[in-house]
Amino acid sequence: MKNKLLRSIGISVSSSYVFFAMNFLGQLVLMRLLEPDDFGTFALVMSIAGMIDLFVSFSVPMAYIKERETDTLFKSACVLSSVVGFLPILIAIIAYFPLTYYYDPLIAKYLLLVTLAKPFFALSAIMIASVEKQAEFGKSYLLRGGAVSTSLIIAILLAYLGFHELSLIAREILSAVLLFCIVKLYLKIPFSFEFDKKEVRQLLSYSSKMIVSRGAEVGYFKIPFLLIGSLFGTATLGYFSQAFYLISLVSTALNPITEKVAFVFYSQMEGTKGNFTVINLVILAISLPVSLALFVYPEEIITFIYGEKWVLSSEYVRYLALFGFVLPFFNNLKSYLYSKSLNNVVTFSYVLSLLVSFLLIYLEFILYSYPVSILFGLSVFLITGYIKNKHEIEVKR
């Protein structure tokens, strides 16, 4: 079983990291072409989009992976995903005029454009989940990477032509539309409105339990950005968001392992304890040296990678380095808890972390918001894991 896990990790890593490197280089090009205010505007739009996701974060792909495959399960998941995908558009339309009152009208327009891509993303996620359910991670990352890289190239062209933050909005929309088209053509999956009512209810039941937990997760990563943009302006948010992006690269690079491979193996395979240890060792080997470098040499790294105009991000990078180190371990624990249907623990952890982060930002301690809050969330996971493990030992006795 351990060999199968290592093989899956190897396939997912090797197939995704080529695109990861390409996207990172493309991001650097965009940062040379655009200004901090452009990235701040984009971050503000995506933060508001994240607030919408708080109410519609149905994790249909995760529910589909957990359910036993039948002749109609995939079709049922597609129908449910289609409905879920259109909900953000409806909410964005309702929120359009209130947003024009509080923000620049362009923010409301960009938000509406971004939500138009949600149905494409929802259906693509289910089609990719059908591949990942068979542990074919290489194929899934090849499809996803092709769409994201193509949309990034188009965004760079638009930025070069002077479209500013609109180039970032276009990248977000195109990545979803292109992914849908590529996956549909490659997998040759026919669409059908045929579905099984019982299966839809089962998928919806699990997804409904996940909505609070997923909503709390979205809130933790979006509400602080929204608060920073509202209190300190889009330029400050631009510096902070790109420091956050740099710090999160390790977690993003490890996501194929901590969130994709881990969840599938914890959900469907035996030997969870051994798999958990292997994944944590992989995380430690990658996360520790990168986080140390970012903590010790933030200004030099920011200047070298982003350029002189982004040097104000370096202080954020130094304090976010601890967050970047802890986050992959946090994600691995989260996948384990999700696989055991301990969604309420994940929800409580994110809510606690969000409250701590919100309070620190409101008190103008932006530097400490994420590093301190993630430690509170991780402590909830560790305490829960200890109690659960102790209970299992007592039961066996």
pLDDT tens for the 397 residues of the chain, in order: 445 555 555 655 555 667 777 888 888 999 989 999 999 999 999 988 888 877 766 677 777 777 777 777 888 888 888 888 888 899 999 988 888 888 888 899 999 999 999 989 888 888 887 777 766 666 777 777 788 888 999 999 999 999 999 999 999 999 989 988 888 887 777 666 677 778 878 787 777 766 777 778 888 888 899 889 888 888 899 999 999 999 988 888 888 778 767 776 676 655 456 677 788 888 888 889 999 999 999 999 999 888 888 998 998 999 999 999 989 888 888 888 877 777 788 888 888 888 999 999 988 888 889 989 888 888 877 777 656 655 554 544 5
- What range does the domain containing 250 cover? 2-392
Return the number of other C-beta atoms located less than 10 Å from residue 186's C-beta: 14
| pLDDT recorded at residue 395 | 46
Structurally, how many domains does the chain consist of? Answer: 1
Tokens of 121: 């993303």
**Exposure string over 289-311, b if 16+ CB within 10 A, otherwise e:** ebbeebbeebeebbbeebeeebe
| pLDDT recorded at residue 310 | 92
| pLDDT recorded at residue 393 | 43
Tokens of 392: 């299992």
| Residues whose CB is less than 8 angstroms from the CB of residue 174 and which lie 6 or more positions away in sequence, other chains included | 150, 151, 154, 155
Query: What is this structure's pTM?
Result: 0.75
Rounded to whole angstroms, how far apart are CA atoms 270 and 369? Answer: 38
| pLDDT recorded at residue 292 | 93
- Of 20, 123, 63, 85, give the one whose Cα is nearest residue 263: 63
Rounded to whole angstroms, how far apart are CA atoms 342 and 210? Answer: 10
The label of the residue with tokens 């792909």 reads: 61
Residue 397 is assigned to a structural domain of this protein: no
| pLDDT recorded at residue 138 | 64
Rounded to whole angstroms, how far apart are CA atoms 243 and 251? Answer: 14
| pLDDT recorded at residue 14 | 59
| pLDDT recorded at residue 158 | 95
| Residues whose CB is less than 8 angstroms from the CB of residue 79 and which lie 6 or more positions away in sequence, other chains included | 193, 195, 200
Residue 304 is assigned to a structural domain of this protein: yes
Question: What is the amino acid identity at position 310?
Answer: W
Tokens of 158: 């638009």
φ, ψ (nearest 5 deg) of residue 307: 105, 165
Q: How far is CA 385 from CA 36, 152, 380, in A?
A: 41, 40, 9
Return the number of other C-beta atoms located less than 10 Å from residue 230's C-beta: 14
Do 365 and 381 touch, CB atoms closer than 8 A? no
DSSP H stretches of helix in the chain: 2-33, 36-56, 60-66, 73-102, 105-115, 118-132, 137-160, 165-187, 197-232, 234-247, 249-255, 262-268, 272-296, 298-305, 314-339, 343-362, 369-396
φ, ψ (nearest 5 deg) of residue 135: 65, 25
The burial class, CB within 10 Å (0-12 / 13-18 / 19+), for 184 is middle
| pLDDT recorded at residue 341 | 73
Tokens of 343: 């969604």
Rounded to whole angstroms, how far apart are CA atoms 248 and 317? Answer: 10
The helix/strand count (H/E) of the chain reads as 17, 0
